[in-house]
Amino acid sequence: MPPHGGRFPGHNLSNPFAHLSQPIHQQPQLQQQHQQNMAHPNFGGANPGHNINLFGGHGQNNFQSNAGIGGGLGGAGLGAAAGLGGVSGGTGLDGHEARMRFAHGAQLQQDAALGRGQDGSKGIAGQRIRDVWRGNLHQEMELLRSLIEQYPYISMDTEFPGVVARPIGEFNSKASYHYQTVRCNVDLLKIIQLGVTLFSVQGEIPPAQLDASQLHYQPKAVQQYTNNILVCPCTWTFNFQFSLEEDMYNEESIQMLKKSGADFEKHAAQGIDPEEFGSLLTTSGMTLTEDVNWISFHSGYDFAYLIKMLTSKPLPEGEDKYRDLVELFFPRLLDVKYLWRHANGLVRKGAIGSHATNILTNLGTKSGLQDLADELSCQRVGTSHTAGSDAWLTGAVFWELRKKIFSGNIPEDMNGQMWGLTGVGPPASANAQAAVLAAQGAPGLTGFPGMNGGMMFHPGSTATHRGEGPSTPTSHPAGLASTPGPSHGGMMTPGATGAFGEFRYSGK
């Protein structure tokens, strides 16, 4: 099958590690020994900038090593591979074990190119969750383009700088109130991380070592792997430009992200441009198609930040236009938290099996991502409140929920439902909101220019955060689906220009 029409190759990918700035110094004696003893037509010419080439073209007979890579593989690695014979139908350097060892060498070089040292990549998380920054954005998007046709389920999560504003006024539904809350915050703030994990239609993640010859779409970054052995993650964490000096954020949210390991100095210096990412995502084959299924957990903010990047515009004023955009870019969308809510409704109606009923009864009122994961025996990989780990866990929970609660069949009417923006009751009235403000002794508020409608910022550092974190809530009931009130808040930060204040949406 040819690649999807919406997927186009990236740019300047002939050398996916071109951003390496410093050469690795080679050992002349070791280099000469390898050139004499290990010449083989399957290895390309040496790259003077990196002094190793495991990905070069065929038909060249020289191979160079270096102290960093050669020492890491040593006698048990490339040296031992030279003596292998009769393994898996190949001999010598063409044997299966030898190819696996060369793939390991490719992983070492790729880790160096992507900035992952040994101390930062221990365990399965370091092997299967790949950090993406500005320098390796294009090559990783190329890899995703090549995989999406065979792994068309994408679980996702975002990390963002919290909630800093609330709309004030009359709203015709609670969903409308929640959308305006999402809109004013997403328009004001910047995304920090996006995590995505790929799954096949059977719920399987890509293997750690993938035979690239089996891929229908093979960009240059994939073609350059020797013997078609592709070192493959299953999860990608995209890290975006964000400055604690210039950008607006909620202090509690940032502190939580710091505890989870967020490197904000690196975000400021090497973060991805959201508009560049949006253009690459548009042409990736991951959006604008019903062949791809997006899976999220409590997705009110997640898709809003994606829509902002994909359109390079503020979110629409009206909820209906926003839904139209979501349906355009993500025609197949499932929200795990909404599925959980629907399953609880089936329990009350007695329309679900006993095993599923027991699982949901054990959960009780707990509805966080980690709660569902624990009940469904899904193991987390990585650190919570990092986008990659949360995205992987979201996907794992979805597949177990699909199997154990829905017997392998998700109802079609669940498509497109987003928790917090679908099927919720009316909000508190403007009079009720004003009464709460008065009871709390809120100071007089002045107008804030530049927004279409009314909203209230959260001034002061004594306000509590009550459930909204920088990512989809994962350990407590979701704040978006609670009765709205003006007391949700947090500490405002540098970069928040303009007067704090309030004004109202007209008749909405």
Q: What is the pLDDT of residues 423-464, one digit of tens each?
A: 444 444 556 555 545 554 544 333 333 333 456 655 433 233
Residues facing 252 on adjacent strands: none
The two beta strands, 193-199 and 153-159, are antiparallel
User: Domain spanning 124-414 has what CATH number?
Assistant: 3.30.420.10
Q: Please state the φ and ψ torsions of residue 210, each to the nearest 5 degrees.
A: -110, 135
Q: Over the chain, what is the mean pLDDT? A: 73
Give residue-wise pLDDT tens across range 156-177: 999 999 999 999 888 888 888 9
Rounded to 5 degrees, what angle do the CA atoms 252, 255, 261 make? 150
**Domain residue extents for the chain:** 124-414
Residue 469 contacts by C-beta under 8 Å, 6 or more apart in sequence?
A: 162, 253, 256, 385
Closest CA to 206 of 140, 128, 137: 128
Tokens 């989870």 -> residue: 260
- How far apart are alpha carbons 59 and 157 in whole angstroms? 44
Residue 452 tokens read as 């279409």
Is the pTM higher than 0.85? The answer reads no
- How far apart are alpha carbons 283 and 8 in whole angstroms? 6
Q: Please count the helices (runs of H) and the strands (runs of E) in the chain.
A: 18, 11
Chain Cα centroid distance, residue 406: 26
Residue 95 tokens read as 């044997």
Q: Are 240 and 470 in contact (CB under 8 A)?
A: no
pLDDT at residue 104, as a whole number = 55
pLDDT at residue 52, as a whole number = 39
Most confident of 8-17, 407-416, 488-497: 407-416
Q: Please state the φ and ψ torsions of residue 130, each to the nearest 5 degrees.
A: -105, 125
Helix (H) or strand (E) holding 431: helix 430-439
Helices (H), 60-167: 67-73, 80-82, 96-113, 123-128, 137-147
- How far apart are alpha carbons 155 and 177 in whole angstroms? 27
